[in-house]
Amino acid sequence: MAISFRSLSLGVAACALTTFACAQEVTLKVHHFLPAGSYANAKFIQPWCDKVNKESNNRIKCQVYPSMQLGGTPPQLIDQVRDGTVDVVWTLPGYTAGRFPLIEVFELPFMMQNPEATSKAVWDYVQQYDKTEFKDVHPIAFHVHGDGVFHMVKQPVRTMADLKGLKLRAPTRQTNKFLAALGATPVAMPVPQVGEALAKGVIDGAVVPYEVVPSVKIQELVKFHSETDPSEPAFYTSTFVFAMNQKKYDSLPADLKKVIDANSGQAFSGQIGKIFLEADGEGKKLASKNTFNVIPKTELENWKKAGQPLIDAWVAEVTAKGVNGKQLLDGARALIAKHSATK
């Protein structure tokens, strides 16, 4: 027993002298809804994991589970990270319709023109106006994607009249409302369901950014891609959150918290937005054999008029919940303008 005790004492001394040798290590279970080969996984999620691993001297490791491999559905991801079923998730708050109404301001019609600047604005907006909605998780980043695009099976979209009666997939509550205001029949569904819905004729088209194209092979399922005038704000975008379980974060030693913190926040949010914009270009190339058109600014003025009642309704809705909706709308627009001027 004396030998064992002496060995233990030497081991403790060695740990004290060589901190990293015996320091706490952590493995993060990272869960999301897109395939491993998606741009989101390959260009953002896995690189983040690699970076925190390197900066922690291999003490933070990730096990990434794409395509909902740990079970559940995309709308359940936010609860999975809240409850500690997983440690980190990447998801859309809008997949749980109406649960995060304040952050929906960025999903209103014609709010976003540059995803890098707008992603920084989303982070700042949450810190200033919207911490309560995300109090049950530890946010690492918020971001948006690039311009939404119409991907159509049988006919392009040139005017509002072209949308009448068509069944179109949209990701979130506000985008669904906008499509309905434009005359379409919105069909809410997460991205992983889009490919099958297009192939089976359940929908006539989908609104997603080009970044999503390879994830569901949209280029093989549609013939037409209708973009809005690039000089105008996007007719829609979606907000995303990259979040960690709060108890998991709290359990980390101070030096590992610093690593997570150094790879979180406004700058990182903007970086993700930039990555998604670059991925749009790569996704568009995959669809190069299809037909493209641009919906002109003159036509989009009609769309803006159709979308204004949605904006007014959102302001009224959140104001009824006890916050100043007009202040939040103005604040979001001011933050977008601020970061657009300095990006």
pLDDT digits (tens, 9 = 90+) for 310-336: 999 999 999 999 999 999 999 999 999
Our CA dihedral for 293, 299, 302, 307, rounded to 10 degrees, sits at 30
Homologous superfamily of domain range 24-145+238-280: Bacterial extracellular solute-binding protein, family 7 (3.40.190.170)
Fold of the domain spanning 149-236+290-312 = D-Maltodextrin-Binding Protein; domain 2 (3.40.190)
* 290: exposed, middle or buried (Cβ count in 10 Å: 0-12, 13-18, 19+): middle
User: pLDDT at position 30, please?
Assistant: 98
pLDDT digits (tens, 9 = 90+) for 46-67: 999 999 999 999 999 999 999 9
pLDDT digits (tens, 9 = 90+) for 114-147: 999 999 999 999 999 999 999 999 999 999 999 9
User: pLDDT at position 343, please?
Assistant: 60
Maximum pairwise Cα distance, the chain? 87
- Going by C-alpha positions, the residue among 205, 204, 166, 203 that lies closest to residue 183 is 166
The predicted model gives 163-169 an average pLDDT of 97
Q: Outline which parts of the chain fall under CATH 3.40.190.10.
A: 149-236+290-312
Its pTM surpasses 0.85:
yes
Residues 85 and 168: their CA atoms lie apart, in Å, by 33
User: pLDDT at position 3, please?
Assistant: 38
Q: Outline which parts of the chain fall under CATH 3.40.190.170.
A: 24-145+238-280
Indicate whether 18 pLDDT > 50.
no
Q: Mean pLDDT in the chain? A: 93
